[in-house]
Amino acid sequence: MKRIVLSGCNGKMGRMIASCVKGRDDCTVVAGIDVSGEVLDAFPVFTSPAGCQVEADVIIDFSHPSALAPLLDYAAATRTPAVIATTGLSSDQVALIRETSARVPLFFTANMSLGVNLLVELAKKAAAVLGGQFDIEIIEKHHNQKIDAPSGTALMLADAISGVLPEEPQYVYDRHAVRRKRGKNEIGLHAVRGGTIVGEHEVIFAGRDEVLTLSHSAMSKEVFATGSINAALFLCGKENGLYSMGDLV
Ligand X SMILES: O=C(O)C1=N[C@H](C(=O)O)C[C@H](O)C1
* Nearest residue (CB) to ligand X, 57 versus 140: 140
**Cβ pair 92, 116 in contact under 8 A:** no
Output the CA–CA distances (angstroms, integers) from residue 197 to 17, 18, 152, 226, in the order listed. 18, 21, 16, 19
What does the buried/exposed string (b/e) look like for 101-111 if buried means 16 or more CB atoms within 10 Å of the residue's CB? beebbbbbbbb
Q: How far is CA 99 from CA 42, 89, 102, 111, 202, in A?
A: 34, 15, 6, 21, 32
- Name the binder of 142 from ligand X, ligand NDP, none, CB < 5-8 A by kind: ligand X
CA 222 to CA 230: how far, in whole Å?
12
Q: Looking at beta carbons only, is 12 or 238 nearer to ligand X?
A: 12
Tell me how crowded residue 126 is: count the other CB atoms within 10 A of its CB.
19
Q: Which is nearer to ligand NDP, 160 or 165 (CB)?
A: 160
> Which of 7, 10, 63, 111 forms a contact with ligand X (CB under 6 A)?
111
Q: Decide which of ligand X, ligand NDP, none touches 33; Cβ closer than 5 to 8 Å per partner kind.
A: ligand NDP
Q: Which does 141 bind (CB under 5 to 8 A by kind): ligand NDP, ligand X, none?
A: none
Q: Which does 11 bind (CB under 5 to 8 A by kind): ligand NDP, ligand X, none?
A: ligand NDP
Cite the active site residues: 142, 146
Give the whole-angstrom CA distance, residue 94 versus residue 97: 5
Q: Which of 87, 101, 117, 162 binds ligand X (CB under 6 A)?
A: 87
| Amino acid in position 12 | K
Position 224 contacts ligand NDP (CB under 6 A)? yes
Dist. CA 16–CA 94, nearest whole Å: 25
- How far, CA to CA in Å, does 182 sit from each of 31, 41, 160, 177, 188? 50, 51, 21, 13, 9
Q: By CB under 6 A, is residue 202 in contact with ligand NDP?
A: no
Span near ligand X by CB under 6 A; candidates 47-55, 97-105, 124-132, 150-158: 150-158
Question: For ligand X, which residue of 7, 117, 153, 226 counts as binding (CB under 6 A)?
Answer: 153
Q: How many residues does the chain have?
A: 249
Closest CA to 109 of 172, 70, 171, 155: 155
Is residue 63 near ligand X by the rule CB under 6 A? Answer: no
Q: Which does 115 bind (CB under 5 to 8 A by kind): ligand NDP, ligand X, none?
A: none
- Annotated binding-site members: 8-13, 34, 85-87, 109-112, 143, 152-153
Binding positions for ligand NDP, rule: CB under 6 A: 7-8, 10-14, 33-36, 62-64, 66-67, 85-88, 109-112, 148, 152, 224
Binding positions for ligand X, rule: CB under 6 A: 87, 110-111, 142, 146, 151-153, 199
